[in-house]
Amino acid sequence: MRKILLIAIIGIVGSSNLVAQEGLPFYNHYLVSDRYLINPSYAGANPEVLSVTGSYRNQWADLPESPNTQTVSVHATVVDRLAFGLYVFNDENGLTSLRGINLSAAYHIPISSRRDMYEDEEEDKFSFGLSYNTFQQVLDLDRINVNQPNDPLLREDTYNLSYFNLGISFNYAGLFGGVSVLDIPLAQNEAVADGIEPLPTWYYLMLGYKFRVTEGINLEPSLVMNLNSNSERHLDLNLISHIGFGERQQGLDLGVSYRQDMDKNGSQGLSVSPLVKLKIGGLKLGMSYDIGLSDIATEAGNGILFSLGYDFSNPFNPDFR
């Protein structure tokens, strides 16, 4: 019975609540899939490759019609240090669906340095980017049985929304970080799905450091803090170890992410996500398993994320330097 109630909650109001509290439903894919999803300045961050990445996430796996999200991203440096990117996404959540597209541009400025660099070390640079995303949210009202069919909250079943995103990032001597502002409304910030609550603007802060343990082995702690205009905030504490082999950042990554969520009423959610990533040649594979420590996770189950991608040699700028 409790699972039936959970399904009803997710199907009727889950969409608006999920979008409001988590931002667009793929914003937590960044650690396994692509940082570009939460900061447009990461488009074309590696000028030597054209990066293509897809991801699939299923949340609350024990529930039928539980939230599941797919993304596909493509980005590369195209002219000099100017990069362009694109991603599309699809989210199914009970009675609702969300589909959209994002177009991005970024510019990368090298940071002059006389320090000695290791062969596998990333270039020191400062980057900034912007993007435009538009999406459509649909509520399948035909599947809802209500006592008052003319309820004004159920009159609209489709919303088309457009937003603007900004981001900056840097990498210097192992230290990396970034700041991004996502979901800035371009016009009237219309309500999302429930006719009441608008999609909030999100603010992301990322900071980390890559320690070189020995040749081919790195340790990368980082934190990501994000908060929104509805006084909700999340804190991710991440730790990844990288065992490298070959060139082009090939290797095995093993890590864990701890997330703490807090809403404006003081309610907290906790989760722990072990993760693994592998890169062989241009092929990229990744997986994380979300272990929820909250009451809803106990009833609805945990979540899983898969990522698959490939780094092609950049056809626009194959000999970039």
DSSP sequence for 164-183 = EEEEEEEEETTEEEEEEEEE
Long-range pairs for 141-150 at CB < 8 Å and ≥24 separation?
A: 143/11, 143/95, 144/11, 144/12, 144/95
Longest dimension (CA), the chain: 72
- The token pair at 256 is 């864990």
Report the pLDDT value the prediction gives residue 14, as an integer from 0 to 100.
45
Alpha-carbon distances, residue 284 vs 29, 89, 260, 276 (angstroms): 15, 19, 28, 11
* The token pair that represents 237 in the structure block: 């504490």
Handedness of CA 181, 187, 190, 193 (dihedral sign): negative
pLDDT per residue as tens, the chain (321 positions): 444 444 444 444 444 444 444 556 677 778 898 899 999 999 999 998 999 999 999 887 667 777 889 999 999 999 889 999 999 999 988 778 889 999 999 999 998 766 666 666 778 999 999 999 998 888 766 666 666 566 655 555 677 888 999 999 999 988 999 999 998 987 665 555 444 456 788 999 999 999 989 888 999 999 999 998 777 888 999 999 999 887 767 999 999 999 988 877 766 778 899 999 999 999 999 999 988 887 666 666 678 899 999 999 999 875 654
Give yes or no for a contact between 74 and 1, defined as CB atoms under 8 angstroms apart. no
3-state secondary structure of 22: helix
Rounded to whole angstroms, the Cα distance separating 64 from 9 reads: 12
Between CA 290 and CA 268 the distance in angstroms is 16
Question: C-alpha dihedral over 76, 165, 73, 245, to 10 degrees?
Answer: 60
Question: Tokens representing 126?
Answer: 């400062």
**Residue matched to tokens 């457009």:** 162
Question: Distance between CA atoms of 170 and 262, rounded to whole angstroms?
Answer: 28
| CB-based contact 288:273 (threshold 8 Å) | yes
Residue 191 DSSP symbol: B
Looking at the domain 49-313, which fold is it?
Porin (2.40.160)
- Rounded CA-CA distance 135/155 in Å is 19
Tell how far CA 210 is from the center of its chain.
21
Q: Whole-prediction pTM value?
A: 0.84
Tokens of 158: 């489709």
Q: What is the pLDDT of residue 4?
A: 41
Q: How many CA atoms lie within 13 A of 90 on its CB side?
A: 5
Q: Domain spans of the chain?
A: 49-313
Backbone phi, then psi, for 111, in 5-degree steps? -100, 115
Which DSSP symbol is given to 35?
Answer: G
State the Cα–Cα distance between residues 172 and 110, nearest whole angstrom.
10
Closest of 185, 190, 215 to residue 202, by C-alpha: 185
Report the run of H or E that residue 295 belongs to, with start and end: helix 295-300
Radius of gyration of the chain (CA): 20
